[in-house]
Structure formats: C-alpha cells, structure tokens
Amino acid sequence: MRNQIYGILFIFAIVFGLSGISSKAIADQTAMVYKSGDRSSGYTYATKETQSIQDDDLANPAYLWLDEGAELWNKVEGKAGKSLRTAWQIVGEYASEAGVTYPKYNAKLGKMQSLEQRINQLRTEVMGAKPYKWESKEMLSITIFIRNLSRGKPMNVSIDGPVIPFFNAGKKFFEAKRGQLDMSCMNCHEENNGNMIRANTLSEGQSNGFPTYRLKWQKPGSIHRRFRGCNKQVRSKPFKYGSDEYVNLELYVAWRGRGLSVETPAIRN
Ligand code: HEC
C-alpha cells in the first residue's frame, strides 16, 4: 500500500516536472496580501466560485497562456539571434522585478513605459524582432509570464523625480468626469465600491491581477482593454491601447494598489 502511494507521488512529480508546471505555479496562496492599508484587491470582491478558480492553479484557464509565455520567453527570434530572456539580461534589468515596477520611466523616451511597451522595445531594439500586437495571444502570454514571476510580491511602482508629472496626469485622468454619463473612475471605484452595478459588485478597480482572465471574455485581457471597457461604460470615447493617457493612468492605478500582491493571472467575472 505504502509503496503504491509513493509510486503515485513519484508519477505525479514526473508529470508536473515535465509538463512545465513549475513549483512557482503551485504557489502558496496564504502568502498573498489581498488587503494593504485601506486598499483591497478585486479578489476580495469576487464570488467564492471565482476565487476558488484563482486559488487552484490547475483549474485556472489562464495557465495555458502562462505556459505559452514561458516558451516565448526562451524562444530565439529576430536578426540578433536572441531570446527575450537574453535581451532582458543584456539591459541589466531583473525580469522578476518587472511585474511590480512597471509602468516605469524610460529616460530615452522621456516618458513612462508599460510592460508591454518594454517587451516590444527589447524585441525591436535588442532582438531585431517584430513587435507583438497589443492584445495578441503572444503579448498576453508573455506579459502574463513576466508578471507571474512577481506573483505574491507587493506592487511597488516609483512615483519620484521625473515620474511626478506623469503620475499627476494619471491621477487627473482618474478623477476627471467623462462621457455622456459624466462619471469618473473615482465615482465608481472609490465612492461606490462594494455596491452592485448591474450583475457586478464594484471593486476598487485595482490592477494587481492583470492581465486577468475574465470569465465573461473567456480569455485574458490587458489592463488597457479594461480601461477601454470602463470608458465605454460611461459612453466616453476610449483611448488607444498603449496611449500615453492610459500608460499614465496605469501608473496611477498601480500606485493606488501599492502593497497588494501581484496575482497574475487573476480570475475575474
Ligand atoms: C460606471 C462605473 C465605472 C466607471 C466610471 C469605471 N469603472 Fe472600472 N469597472 C467597473 C465595473 C462594473 C468593473 C467590473 C467589476 C469590478 O471589478 O468593479 C470594473 C473593473 C475595473 C477594473 C478591474 C478590477 C479587477 O480587480 O480586475 C479596473 C482596473 C478598473 N475598473 C479601472 C477603472 C478606471 C481606471 C476607470 C476610469 C477610467 C474606471 N474603471 C471607470 C465600472 C466602472
């Protein structure tokens, strides 16, 4: 009997070991910080069912994208014959920090850069490869992979020095009323969190789970896709994926969620 159990455990170890589901993927949920100060993750507003899918990495459908992201990370592409992993090493940044520090100020561009934009910059400038389209399977997969390296770490964007004007622009965007409904992000996500809106409980609009897998979309989506959806809800014209407006907003939203654990890939309704 005992030998049989060891046998089964052994097979388990082999299967997980070979299928690329690393020990990182089977993370300790108790170490996650869902509340920090007066800030709470969207996880705390989700239903028990939704939470339980997120809690179980083997049930989380976004792990298909994560696995693809792991492959893209190591894939040699472009004229320079390098992988994104190598490109990241060449510029001397820690990929495991990227998930908590982007959007980040880029001195060469003189403005903020989101994680997606950093990925494409390294692809074009260091690898000599084509940029990924924003909401493509590849971009979502690689962003999920990189942000997942930071899973459990507290959100920690810098808002000092050259970042200040961009931070202020993001804050202003968050507070500005817009659209035919004349509503700001703040109206929904700070003044009405916990209240129902149609079939949804309004959360604080935190970004720590992005890209998140939305059950409604049946696939993961970027934070800019979410911003566009929220803009459309108040009948206001959405901005472009990767627009300066959204990158600055993303910075402000990330700062609002400081201290919350990165949950990528989170599950939301
Ligand atoms: C009319 C109300 C409304 C407005 C205004 C609004 N949102 Fe949302 N937002 C929602 C709803 C509904 C959801 C889905 C349920 C939830 O998480 O609140 C959502 C979700 C989000 C999420 C995902 C949260 C998570 O945990 O995955 C983010 C981030 C977000 N909104 C940011 C914003 C930003 C930034 C703005 C301003 C540009 C904004 N929202 C404006 C209604 C609104």
Write out the DSSP string of 18-63. HTT--TTTS--GGG---EETTEE-GGGGS-HHHHHHHH-TTT-TTH
Model confidence band, residue 261 (pLDDT cutoffs 50, 70, 90): very high
- What per-residue confidence (pLDDT) applies to 11? 45
The yes-or-no verdict on residue 24 having pLDDT over 50 is: no
The total number of residues shown for the chain amounts to 269
Q: Whose CA is nearest to atom 2 of ligand 1?
A: 188
Confidence at residue 27, expressed as pLDDT on a 0 to 100 scale: 54
State yes or no: pLDDT of 258 exceeds 70. Answer: yes
**Would you say the CB of residue 206 lies under 6 angstroms from ligand 1?**
yes
Catalytic residue, from 230, 234, 244, 258: name it: 230
**Distance from residue 193's CA to the centre of ligand 1 (Å):** 10
* Cβ 40 under 6 angstroms from ligand 1: no
- Domain segments of the chain as ranges: 2-19+31-268
Q: Is 228's C-beta closer than 6 angstroms to any atom of ligand 1?
A: no
Atom index in ligand 1 nearest the CA of residue 233 equals 1
The CB of 211 under 6 Å from ligand 1? The reply is no
pLDDT grade for 99, boundaries at 50, 70 and 90: very high
Q: How far apart are the CA of 203 and the centre of ligand 1, in A?
A: 7
Tell me which CATH homologous superfamily contains domain 2-19+31-268: Cytochrome c-like domain (1.10.760.10)
Residue 13 CA to ligand 1 center (angstroms) comes to 40
213, 266 Cβ separation under 8 angstroms: yes
Helix axes 244-256, 223-233, angle to 10 degrees: 100
At residue 178 the predicted structure's pLDDT band, cuts being 50, 70 and 90, is: very high
Q: Is 46 in the pocket of ligand 1 (CB under 6 A)?
A: no
Using the predicted structure, report yes or no on whether residue 246 has a pLDDT greater than 60: yes
Taking CA atoms only, the protein residue closest to ligand 1 atom 37 is: 185
Distance 23 CA to ligand 1 centre (A): 32
Does the active-site annotation cover 230?
yes
User: 185, 183, 161, 182: which is closest to 173 by C-alpha?
Assistant: 185
Predicted pLDDT at 31: 84
Q: Give the residues across from 36 on adjacent strands.
A: 39
Beta strand residue intervals within 91-195, DSSP E: 104-106, 111-113
**Mean per-residue pLDDT for 64-91?**
98
